[in-house]
Each structure stands twice: as structure tokens, then as C-alpha cells.
Structure 1
Amino acid sequence: MDISTEVETERVVFVTEDGEPTGETGPKLASHHAETRLHLAFSCYVLRRSDRALLITQRALHKKVWPGVWTNSVCGHPAPGEALADAVRRRAGYELGLPVLDDLECVLPKYRYRTPPFQGIVENEFCPVFAAWTDRDPAPNPEEVGGWRWISWADYTQWLQDPVTDVSYWARDQFPQLKDKMPFSEL
């Protein structure tokens, strides 16, 4: 299946407030709008072993949801019936060219958020958050990633506090819950 067909047929899994699948799915792109239903997603923070830096990425400018915004390493949606860890690895491979992530760990299993409208789109996600390690630089897919860089956790902390920084809602929202959790508390 070519990538354009895959994107057109990709589905999100609708869930209850507790993150339990309802049995319903919807087309990914068409499901994101001003009244987005709660659906399953994930976020992942990729850390580099050599200097314990965090990979941050800029979403491609042509993306429908939050284009051009800087965020954590990789985000996405599991396919119906797909395990979250498998979805993280699939998207890391597709978006970042990093299909093998070491020590993948769910650090916020119950994270949930709803964004204010951004260009007519509201994100409404039950979104477990993962941390993973790598020793490789990414080879990003330009359809997904507009830019990337490694940043120290201390610099990331300051960067998020700058109100001018063009960063995703969820990255700012996740930070207070992540900063005191392993492995972030040791960075």
C-alpha cells in the first residue's frame, strides 16, 4: 500500500473517558475537527544515551493538525487492535527513521488532554506517554517532520517556559507531570 493510501485509510480508535475502546473507529483526518471525539493516541520522548539529550521535532508545515509547531519526539495513533508499544515503534520508524527504540517505557499511562481550538481543530486524546532511548540520529520523513534537534532537558525546561515558543499544547501540558518522573528527573 502506498503512503497516500495508508494516510487516507488510517483510523483512530474512539475511547471512553477511562481510555477503553468503544468498538468504534473513524478516519484519522476526518475525525479531527472542532468537535473531535475522545480517541486513543500516544506521545513519545526519545532520549539520546551519549549525552542524555531529548529529540524535539517540528511538525511539517502542511500537516492538518498543528502544522509547523515544535513538540516532543513523535506522536501518533494506534491502529485498531494495535498495541500501543507497536504503534510507537511504527510511527517512530515512519516519521523519524528510528524503527528500533531501546527501553521503551510508558511513563504516563493515563494522560488525557483536550486542546483549545487551533486553526479550527480540537485535539481530544487519551494519550499514554512513553520514553525511549536511541544512539542514532533521526532520518525524518519530510511529509511528517519539518525540523528536529537534540536539546538538553534543562534547555527544554526553559524553552517550554518561554511564552513566545511555538510549541504544542500537549508538550507544555505533559511537562509538569513528566519533570519528576524517571528518566526525566535524572536528566
Structure 2
Amino acid sequence: MDTMTETESERVVFVTEDGVPTGETGPKLASHHAETRLHLAFSCYVLRRSDQALLITQRAQDKKVWPGVWTNSVCGHPAPGEALEDAVRRRAAYEIGLPELADLRCVLPSYRYRTPPFEGIVENEFCPVFVAWADRDPEPNPAEVGGWRWVSWADYAQLLQDPGAGVSYWAKDQYAQLKAEEPFSLLGQQNFGA
């Protein structure tokens, strides 16, 4: 993976409804507003091998979009020309201190969502969803992550249904599709991962 400069990694890649880059990019922060253009992103769910627990993170309170909400393990945007898998690994290292993700794979390659406005900002993303495995606790960057915990898939499902839990829109929306996909459909089964 090539080293990205701060400027390159802080640009979003605009895409068509099918996720094809248009050739245009924009500054990450300035591109998020009430009329956010569709752009490329990713989400990743990190599972712990020893007990199949899911790492969930709480976004830092200083984040511009959705501060303080609980969500999946790591999210982000690929830099222009950066492969999605490389972007996932880069952001996992930066946000949660887990550069050594194992068995990284895309489970929802065509996931797309648009959030309701949050303090005047709309997320509008073509956002492939990945799963990976880790064997240790994260070492989160406090500028990105305000809290974290390992939860069972069943406890995660309950958290998503709790209106007072403060969970991200995309985490709830992704769950509806992920629960039928492997490895998520197998979580909690006695011999899973053996």
C-alpha cells in the first residue's frame, strides 16, 4: 500500500448510483452538508476469534457527523485511487489501532444508504461492508473513538433496537442485510469458527 498524504486521504471520491467513480473528488469535511453528493465509503465489522464477539465503537464527541453514537468497528472513505481493502486497513490502524486485521473480506459489496439530516448534515454513501477478525483488544485513537466494547451478536441486535442507545443510522440499516450473511448468520452457533 502506498503512503497517502494527509490531503489525499481527506478527499472523498464521488460515484454513480452503481458505485463507479465519476473522476471527481471533494474535500471530506466540505463535501458533507445538507446536499451531500453520493461518494464512496466503507464500513467494517471486526470479530474476535476467541468468542465471536463483535467490536463496536462509540464515535468521538468531536466528530462533525454523528458524534457520540455507537456504531460498527470502523468506517471511512478511501482516498482517490486507493483500493477499498487498503483503505479499511489504513483506517483500522488509525482509528482503532488494529492494523493486522485477518481474513478481511467484503460481505455487502453494493450497500448504499442516505441518512436523514443530522445537525444539517446528510450522509450519502455507496458503502461496501467488510468483515475481519482480530485476536486482541483495540488501541483506539481518542480523536476518532470515544469508547469501545466487545458484544455478542445477540446483544448487538438488542442494542440496535433500543431507541435510547444512541446507535448510528447506518449500523441499524446494515444489520438488516448482514444478519443473513456469513459469518454473521452463524454467530452464536456452538462450533462456529472451530
TM-score range, shorter chain: over 0.9
Distance 2:96 2:7 in 1: 16
Note if contact 2:44-2:75 (Cα within 8 Å) is conserved in structure 1: yes
Contact 2:9 2:80 in 1 (8 A): no
Structure 1 stretches of 4+ moved >4 Å: none
**8 A contact 2:115–2:123 mirrored in 1:** yes
Tell me, in whole angstroms, the C-alpha distance in 2 between the residues paired with 1:165 and 1:90: 28
Matches within 5 A, 1:87-126: 87-126=87-126
1:37-59 residue CA offsets vs partner (Å, 9 max, x unmatched): 00000000000000000000000
Amino acid at match of 2:148: W
1:145 paired to 2:145: yes
| Aligned residue type for 1:180 | A
Structure 2 SS opposite 1:87: helix
Corresponding residue SS for 1:89: helix
Q: Does structure 2 retain, via aligned residues, the 8 Å contact 1:8–1:29?
A: no
Name the SS of the counterpart of 1:18 in structure 2. Answer: coil
Q: Distance in 2 between matches of 1:84 and 1:176?
A: 22
Q: Separation in 2 of the partners of 1:39 and 1:169?
A: 17
Aligned to 1:165: 165
Map of 1:33 onto structure 2: 33
Measured at CA, do residues 8 and 90 of structure 1 come closer, stay the same or move farther in structure 2, by a change above 3 Å? closer
How many Å apart are 1:162 and its aligned residue? 1.3
Deviations 1:88-132 (A, max 9, x none): 000000000001100001000000000000111100000000000
Percent sequence identity over aligned pairs? 83
TM-score using structure 1 length: 0.96
Structure 1 vs Structure 2 CA RMSD: 1.2
Q: Secondary structure at the match of 1:82?
A: coil
Return 5+ residue gaps in structure 1 as ranges. Answer: none
Indicate conservation of the 8 Å contact 2:9/2:78, yes or no.
no
Number of matched pairs: 183
**Matched residues in 2 for 1:135 and 1:7: separation?**
32
Give the C-alpha shift of residue 73 in structure 1: 0.2
Shift of the 155–175 alpha-carbon distance from structure 1 to 2, 3 Å rule, reads same
- In the aligned structure 2, how far is the partner of 1:18 from the partner of 1:9? 22
Aligned twin of 2:191: none
Structure 2 gap ranges (5+): 188-194
The residue number in structure 2 matching 1:42 is 42
Distance 1:155 1:28, change over 3 A: same
Deviation at 1:72, TM superposition (A): 0.2
Query: For 1:61-110, what per-residue CA distance to the aligned partner results, in whole angstroms no more than 9, with x for missing partners?
Result: 00101111110000000000000000000000000000110000100000
Corresponding residue of 1:61? 61
Q: Distance in 2 between matches of 1:7 and 1:94?
A: 16
